[in-house]
Amino acid sequence: MLSTLPTAKTKTKKQYRGVTRVTRVIQKLAFWVPLIIMIAMIILAIFANFIAPHDPNLPKITDRYTPPVFMEGGKSEYLLGTDQIGRDILSRLIYGARVSLSVSLLVILITAAIGTMLGIAAGYSGGRADAIIMRVVDMALSFPGLLLAMLLAVAIGPGFTTVVLALSILGWAGYARMIRGEALRISQSDFVAQARVNGASGWRIMTRHIFPNIINSLIVLMTLQVGMMILAEAGLSYLGLGITVPTPSWGAMVSDGRANLDNAWWISLFPGVCIGLVVLSGNFLGDWIRDKLDPRLRQL
């Protein structure tokens, strides 16, 4: 009986070592692959006019419904095929990266800044200010964002500004509500009480004591939002409320292919894959950032 014990021990140790090695490789991949995809997308977005093999908006009726190159009937000049009026899908995807990335980046910066300020103010000060801010948040949150986007699209016409406005006007509320919850929790902690006893001003407590403690939640929320904003933009474009012709956008491309599902599925497939890849990369990088920022969680 005694002799079996050491063997069992070494075995678990070996297994454990094997697991960590595999996990380490996966962890590395989960960081590098999304990072490379993200950087590649940013480069594509910035240099779209140099990289795209064709004019994304030039129709060529004779080449319409050309399947991707790996399928029967595919042509090497159209790697991912063409759509219903013969535009090169690859080129349209490359230009589409511009729309997705710029809209989401802008919206996230605007909404996170507003939401954090209001959220901390509400959570820390409590009382009337809290009640008022939170009622506005409730209103913003209960207003279907899509309706606002539609109204804006009708009022000022669909386009870049409309999408950014529609997503920003309501988007901050999510941050405010989440941050307020955190700020409320932190406000009740001993170190905030201590700071108050020491005579720290409200501003100082909010910026030096509460804010550092919510940064991690904020960053995780912001990185989650990269994906969500790209998805929201795609959704608006899909319905025809967002970026419209002649600028290609991934959401609108999915919508373009809907009528041709039975004979040209690639028109809808590839833009969705692009959206998925970028959002996936954003989320993976977010996870990685969280693990780095919150070593507490890694210990578990």
Partner 1 sequence: MVRFIIIRLLQCIVAFFGILIITFLLLRVSGDPAALLASPNFSPEQVQAIRVELGLDKSWGEQLGIYLNQVAHGNLGESLLQKKPVITKIGDALPNTLKLMVPSFVLAMILAFILGVLAATYRDSWWDNIVKFLAVLGQALPGFWVAIMAVLIFSVQLQWLPVAGMDTPANYILPVSTIVFFTMPGMMRLVRSTMLDVLDSEYIKMARIKGLPERTVIWKHALRNALISPLTIIGMLLPGVVTGAVITEQIFNWPGMGRLLVEATFARDFPVVQAVVIITAILVLGINLLIDISYAWVDPQIRFQRT
Q: Binding of partner 1 at residue 43 (CB under 8 A)?
A: no
Give min distance, CB of 108 to partner 1, in A.
15
Q: Is 40 in the site for partner 1 (CB under 8 A)?
A: no
Instruction: Tell me whether residue 211 or residue 238 sits nearer to partner 1 (CB atom).
Output: 238
- 19 or 58, CB closer to partner 1? 19
Distance CA(25)–CA(4), nearest Å, equals 32
Binding mask 6-35 for partner 1 (x = CB under 8 A): -----------------x------------
Looking at the DSSP bridge assignments, the partners of residue 82 are 88
CB atoms near residue 299 (< 10 Å): 6
223 and 283 in contact (C-beta within 8 Å)? yes
Residues 245-274 that bind partner 1 (CB under 8 A): 251, 254-255, 257-258, 261-262, 265, 268-269, 271-272
Nearer to partner 1, 54 or 153 (CB): 153
Q: Which is nearer to partner 1, 62 or 299 (CB)?
A: 299
CA distance 84 to 151: 30
- Min CB(157)–partner 1 separation in Å: 11
Say whether residue 159 binds partner 1 (CB under 8 A): no
CB of 2 to partner 1, least distance (A): 29
CB of residue 261 vs partner 1: minimum separation in angstroms? 5
The answer to whether residues 89 and 82 touch, using CB atoms and an 8 Å cutoff, is yes
- Chosen residue from 78, 95, 124, 238 binding partner 1 by CB under 8 A: 238
Residue among 42, 105, 146, 195 that touches partner 1 (CB under 8 A): 146
Closest approach, Cβ 1 to partner 1, in A, equals 28
- Sign of the dihedral defined by the CA atoms of residues 276, 279, 281, 287, in that order: negative
Q: How far is the CB of 242 from partner 1 (least distance, A)?
A: 12
- Contact positions with partner 1 (CB under 8 A) in 107-126: 126
Q: Check residue 189 for interaction with partner 1 (CB under 8 A).
A: no
The site for partner 1 (CB under 8 A) is made up of 23, 126, 130-131, 135, 138-139, 141-148, 150-152, 154-155, 170, 174, 177-178, 181, 184, 188, 220, 224, 227-228, 231, 234-235, 238-239, 251, 254-255, 257-258, 261-262, 265, 268-269, 271-272, 275-277, 279-280, 283-284, 296-297, 299-300
